[in-house]
Structure 1
Amino acid sequence: MINNEQKRIIPNEVLLPEVARLISEGHTVTLIIRGNSMNPFLVDRRDRIVVGPFTETDLQRGAVVLARESLGRIVFHRIIRRNGQELTLLGDGNLKVTEQANVADVMGIMITAIRKDKEYPCSGRTWQRYSFWWMKLMPIRRWLLAIFRRI
């Protein structure tokens, strides 16, 4: 069987501003995860995310956002702290390196994680429980990630 679907690789600096535009117009966008910073629960080139519009009150600790951080890079990481308009972001697979972003620099918020073709709405019990415990386990994340990487 021949697959007529053609895949195109578009650089993030081209693709993600267009994603931000679509989200600002009220659309949702499904993206394939690229990179390992959201391991172990979102895996490079295997899992997908649905990113969409948000309100400022949605940008709370635990939310996963697509944002331009203070050095200009676009990242898809979890909010670990909010102080007024300033956000501190950290990838689930990262141990210490955080990014700073302003609320105005957020392009979209994760609405659904699609892991191994199973959908996990971010408002659902499973994803909420995962988020809660992963953030609580921050002090031992180093060992948990080491185990995951060896599996």
Structure 2
Amino acid sequence: MLADRLLLDNGQLFSEVAQLLEQGYSVTLRGKGNSMFPFVADGRDSVVLQKAEHVGVGDIVLAQVTERGYVLHRVYKAEGERLTLMGDGNLRATERCRREDVLGKVVRILRNGRYVECSSFPERFKVECWRRLLPVRRYLLFVCRRCFK
């Protein structure tokens, strides 16, 4: 009997993802964890990644971070070649990486059978509002988690 799943450790998986993105392919990954909630929800959403030609503040990227391995987080600050990443569901935790550590950029989120274009005006507007609401994010996350259960 054949297994319906292939189990890879993160190193193997993201090595393959990096190769596919470098070759120009798009890669779709299932969202896992709560660090990107409410924009990418665990078990609900998938993300479509492409090679990152340009990365700026507000973009969701897949990056290799020395102390954490691989993360799918949003660019919070960009200072030259240095990027500060932060998950939408995080209150304070950030990671730092170099632009060259970015494997790919999320271009679409698949939510409930529909694609959300990350570059669309409504999505960018929501992201910027969420970013500016960081001081009260704790309370907003509490409400969001109650509503999405």
Residue matched to 2:11: 13
| Equivalent residues in 2 for 1:28-43, closer than 5 Å | 28-43=26-41
Deviations 1:70-94 (A, max 9, x none): 3151000000001111100000001
> Measured at CA, do residues 46 and 8 of structure 1 come closer, stay the same or move farther in structure 2, by a change above 3 Å?
farther
Establish whether residue 133 from structure 1 lines up as the match of residue 132 from structure 2: no
- Local SS of the residue matching 2:97: strand
Tell me which of 68, 85, 90 is aligned to 2:86.
90
TM-score by length of 1: 0.90
Percent same amino acid among aligned pairs? Answer: 36
In 2, distance between residues paired with 1:46 and 1:10?
Answer: 21
In 1, distance between residues paired with 2:18 and 2:109?
Answer: 18
Aligned length: 146
In 2, distance between residues paired with 1:70 and 1:10?
Answer: 20
Residue matched to 2:65: 69
Please, which runs of 5 or more residues in structure 2 have no aligned partner?
Answer: none
TM-score by length of 2: 0.91
Establish whether residue 26 from structure 1 lines up as the match of residue 30 from structure 2: no
Structure 2 contact 109–116 (Cα < 8 Å) conserved: yes
Structure 2 contact 47–108 (Cα < 8 Å) conserved: yes
Q: What letter is aligned with 2:37?
A: N
Q: Which moved more, 1:128-137 or 1:59-68?
A: 128-137
- Local SS of the residue matching 2:103: strand
Q: What letter is aligned with 1:10?
A: L
- Local SS of the residue matching 2:35: coil
Deviations 1:91-129 (A, max 9, x none): 000110100011010000001011122101111123212
Establish whether residue 144 from structure 1 lines up as the match of residue 131 from structure 2: no
- Local SS of the residue matching 1:81: strand
In 2, distance between residues paired with 1:37 and 1:72?
Answer: 13
CA RMSD of aligned residues (A): 1.6
- Local SS of the residue matching 2:88: coil
Please, which runs of 5 or more residues in structure 1 have no aligned partner?
Answer: none
